[in-house]
Structure 1
Amino acid sequence: MTGERGSEQGSPVRNGAGPGQEGRQPPVIAIVGPTGSGKSDLAVRMALELDGEIINADSMQFYRGMDIGTAKITAEERKGVPHHLLDTLDVTDEASVSDFQRESRAAIADIHRRGRRAILAGGSGLYIRAALDVLEFPGTEPAIRQRLEHDLEVSGLAPLRTRLELVDPVSAARLGDARRVVRALEVHELTGRPFSSFMPVREYFQPAVQIGLEVDRELLRERLAARVHRMVSSGLLDEVRRLDSLGLRRGRTASRALGYAQFLRVLDGEADEEQAAEETIVATRQFARRQLTWFRADPRIHWLDWQDPDLVAKALTLCG
């Protein structure tokens, strides 16, 4: 993901597996679930059993130097298993789902070509779907975007929403924030198609198995709080200070990451570390709930108890 494009931007992508391709490759394995549920650990344990390699699908772990606050898996924790798409972006870059789709699929193809198993691991739902599902991305046109953003600045969001209701009522009912309304209007003007027509369908691009980690929600709440406190004691504020000197605030994606946004306020004198930690805990718990809602909507996911002593064995059975 080398470009600085928005998460819904990119060139048109045609998603065909190609004649006979599906019959020649093993299913891609995806380990999904809420933050803090143990996805990285399970992925490593399965990779060791299956001679596999792991592809990161956590959008904030693309960023170099964002280690403590993203709970990025360490070299020791990887246990020698190759990991792909970690540390690929500077904090000033903007993560792009379309870039991830291209690069994750290239990594999957390369891993399979070498006779190994590809394992996706992460909680960024749209990124998982971009790698696994039939999904195309519309292009972008800066001149159209700039004109729409000017209209937004001059007239506010309401007139843009009214325009969107006329050309794409599905998106108008679903989208709330100004950035995405502008994007939907841009796509319609550029392609002549409603933005909603580009939404993913639940159809795998190539054979896949998704394994979800079923959590005890109260235990997860406690675990997330403890994890944030460990991040703070491990030097999260110093990490944010160092990344701030590298342009963290200019990064539209990285600057909004859980923990980083809150601890930038500490640097600005707007909060102390204790306040920032509590704000991060609340935001992380809310994020975990949204992740569960997203993944629960996909009936293809096989859910396994995150604390089952036979978790690895059961997961391997699902993968054939």
Structure 2
Amino acid sequence: MRQQPVIAVVGPTAAGKSDLAVDLALRLGGECVNADSMQLYRGMDIGTAKLTPAEQRGVPHHLLDIWDVTVTASAAEYQRLARKLFATIDVPVLVGGSGLYVRAAIDDLEFPGTDPEIRARLESELAETGTAPLHERLRELDPAAAAAILPSNGRRIVRALEVIEHSGRPFSATMPSYEGGVPSVQIGLEVPRPELDERIALRVTRMWQAGLVEEVRGLLGQGLAEGRTASRALGYAQVIKFLDGEWSQERAVEETVRATRRFARRQESWFRRDPRVVWLPYDAPDLLERSLTLIAGHGRT
């Protein structure tokens, strides 16, 4: 059984998580384990801000580029892969903003079975009526799950209702407490909202300048549009609308910024609920040293 805790660097997009994770890995002799669900996809580099080999600075990075864009993301499969890696890495540094994947990696998260017929029926209903009636149904069946899932998150609402109907158990029963699981030290990077909004706008602009449209065009040739998960990724979904002629480039950029800011708020809300996360200012001049002190306080020397 693992003696040392997993180090997790979490927080909203554009907060600088990847750079801090590399700094920690270099100081501690660690290796990075990706917890960004979209960086699992091969070829999705610019739009996910995937570190280049030079930016990785020689630190081994795991669980990058493991799925084709046609593969539907699976948190259960990710959990299996992450746990397997933790057993082989002396100092694993988990890094990413996909809250469900972070919890899957370090917590005893249960993944109930699926029922394609139930899911198809619920997805059809979602397309026809929108999220509001389904979220209200979820509130009646499982108030705790409804409180934890945004009324606008149709995918998660459908999944919760599917689990309830398929298993006969509340969906909230599959979510573990914040106790138990893999021992971890979780460091959250805190960015004031106005600054975060500016950083997101700048990041999106730079992505488009760096060739995001060309990246998406190439991935469409690999089946991106058919991928249930990858095609919905921030930036990629908006570029697809641009390439389809549905949106102008200006609108696609604006919509990407807007959607990313909303996503960042959801990330913050998710991680703020976890009492184990210790928040540090993203721009603290002694950020690395403060992070190392936190880690040392959990049994490291």
> Which structure 1 segments of 5+ residues have no match?
1-20
- The TM-score normalised by the length of structure 1 is 0.84
Instruction: Tell me the residue number matched to 1:25.
Output: 3
Instruction: Tell me the residue number matched to 2:27.
Output: 49
Query: Do the aligned residues in 1 keep the contact of 2:39 with 2:50 (CA within 8 Å)?
Result: yes
Query: Do the aligned residues in 1 keep the contact of 2:178 with 2:275 (CA within 8 Å)?
Result: no
- The TM-score normalised by the length of structure 2 is 0.89
Deviation at 1:250, TM superposition (A): 0.9
**Per-residue deviation, residues 104-140 of structure 1 (Å, max 9, x unmatched):** 11111111xxxx2000000111111111122211112
Q: Does 1:132 align with 2:106?
A: yes
Instruction: Tell me the residue number matched to 1:91.
Output: 69
> Which structure 2 segments of 5+ residues have no match?
297-301
Which of these residues, 276, 280, 285, is aligned with residue 304 of structure 1? Answer: 280
In 1, the alpha carbon distance for the partners of 2:127 and 2:234 equals 28
In 2, the alpha carbon distance for the partners of 1:36 and 1:304 equals 15
237-246 vs 132-141, which deviates more? Answer: 132-141
Query: Do the aligned residues in 2 keep the contact of 1:36 with 1:224 (CA within 8 Å)?
Result: yes
Which secondary structure does the structure 1 equivalent of 2:88 belong to?
helix
Which of these residues, 223, 240, 243, is aligned with residue 247 of structure 1? Answer: 223
Identity of aligned residues (%): 60
Query: Do the aligned residues in 2 keep the contact of 1:134 with 1:202 (CA within 8 Å)?
Result: no
Q: Does 1:286 align with 2:286?
A: no
Query: Structure 1 residues 248 and 155, CA, compared in 2 at 3 Å: closer, same or farther?
Result: closer
CA RMSD of aligned residues (A): 2.4
159-168 vs 258-267, which deviates more? Answer: 159-168
Query: Do the aligned residues in 2 keep the contact of 1:134 with 1:203 (CA within 8 Å)?
Result: no
The alignment covers a number of residue pairs equal to 294
Instruction: Tell me the residue number matched to 1:101.
Output: 79
Output aligned runs, 1:143-162, within 5 Å. 143-146=117-120
Q: Residue type of the partner of 2:16?
A: G
Output aligned runs, 1:123-202, within 5 Å. 123-146=97-120, 167-171=141-145, 176=151, 179-202=155-178
In 1, the alpha carbon distance for the partners of 2:141 and 2:179 equals 26
Q: Does 1:295 align with 2:298?
A: no
Instruction: Tell me the residue number matched to 1:257.
Output: 233
Query: Do the aligned residues in 2 keep the contact of 1:63 with 1:87 (CA within 8 Å)?
Result: yes
In 2, the alpha carbon distance for the partners of 1:97 and 1:129 equals 10
Query: Structure 1 residues 224 and 174, CA, compared in 2 at 3 Å: closer, same or farther?
Result: closer
Query: Do the aligned residues in 1 keep the contact of 2:31 with 2:59 (CA within 8 Å)?
Result: yes
Q: Residue type of the partner of 2:28?
A: L
